[in-house]
Amino acid sequence: MNEGKTHAYFSWAYERALVPPPRSSQNQGSNANQTDPQVALALHRNFSDWVKPDYVVKTDDDSFVMLAELEARLRIELFRARAEALDWDPLVYWGYLIKDYFMGGELYALSWPLVSYVAASEVVKTMKIGYEDQQVAKWIGTHPHASRVRWASERCWIYNHPKSANVYAHGFLFPSEVQRVKGSIAGEKTPEQVQRMNLPTSWEVDSPKYSWSSVTGPSLRYIPPRPQNLTLGMEVEALIEGSALANALSMRGYKYTDYTNGDTPGFTENEEQDQASQWAHVQAAYDLREDLRVRYLGKNIGGTVVVHYVKKDEWFLETSLALLDGTSGRDS
């Protein structure tokens, strides 16, 4: 529940938030998702040249945020908003849209004009109590120009950690896998034919064909892969959606018993393989893993923005290795 802290946060940002002026991108590294080592700011630096931000972002403390991806998405939306609305300041409400009603609380962003309105509106000040993410959507609805607000949703690239056991969870996702999924659905169809396929939205999916995950399978309860003597690199690689190793270990490739009673699925007797052969199969799949260049289709950005529900230190480290390391843990 939110008892005014969200409004206090945006009010504080309206009064005090400052950011460095935009810097030239000429020195930007080849991979925008890698850490950029910068000289630490002087303790008594002069902030007179700092400016108000274009956005204020709210995120949960259990969200793993890819900052380069987030910045790129927000800059694009700001550019589009300015291009389409030359006569007023851009009004952008960005996040993960849930049931066409509100942006999920794991992370959302308000453009500066909306932050200004939220902080100053007497109407909004009377609407401080309630579920935080839903209340923010109601605040946006009270804006005098609510019809001009761009509700910009990023469903594909915001999801929960694969071990979180809820409907928003799946494996760590990269553009290469999205490209494969699109190709498998579209086949030889033209873009116009794909548009007419009437595919379900992310919250109306009722077919396993469109909701299967190579990591989490058909169950909300995460089940560790077999065998369980995997190296650290293999464990992380097995959490990457559509990876050769995830598919090799996926229950989709085997017949398994009903586990609605909580039992762990097991192989049938006819499918039991000797340990050496099974390990060779796992190792071969792991050797086919993609590096970040391949996973990002040769681009710097374009993938996961937020992994939510990172509730354990172990999950945080897995997310870091999967999204930032590029080699799924480097077995050393």
User: Exposed (0-12), middle (13-18) or buried (19+): which is 81, by Cβ within 10 Å?
Assistant: buried
Quick one: pLDDT at residue 155?
A: 84
Q: How far is the CA of 82 from the CAs of 53, 85, 118, 124, in angstroms? A: 16, 5, 21, 25
Q: In the chain, at which residue ranges do the beta strands (DSSP E only) sit? A: 2-3, 55-59, 64-65, 92-98, 102-111, 129-130, 150-153, 158-160, 306-308
Quick one: pLDDT at residue 37?
A: 56
Quick one: pLDDT at residue 310?
A: 98
0.85 surpassed by pTM: no
What six digits make up the tokens of 5?
A: 């802290």
Contact 190, 244 (CB under 8 A): no
What six digits make up the tokens of 219?
A: 């169950």
**Which residues lie closer than 8 Å to 253 by C-beta, 6 or more apart?**
247
Number of Cβ within a 10 Å radius of residue 328? 26
Residues of the chain with pLDDT under 70: 1-2, 24-45, 194, 197-211, 218-221, 226-228, 251-274, 326-332
One-letter amino acid at 167 equals V
Termini Cα distance of the chain: 44
Quick one: pLDDT at residue 252?
A: 45
Q: Give 102's Cβ-side CA count (13 Å radius).
A: 15
Quick one: pLDDT at residue 273?
A: 52
- Give the integer Cα–Cα distance in Å for 47 and 68: 24
Quick one: pLDDT at residue 250?
A: 77
- Which residue is listed with tokens 């200004």? 116
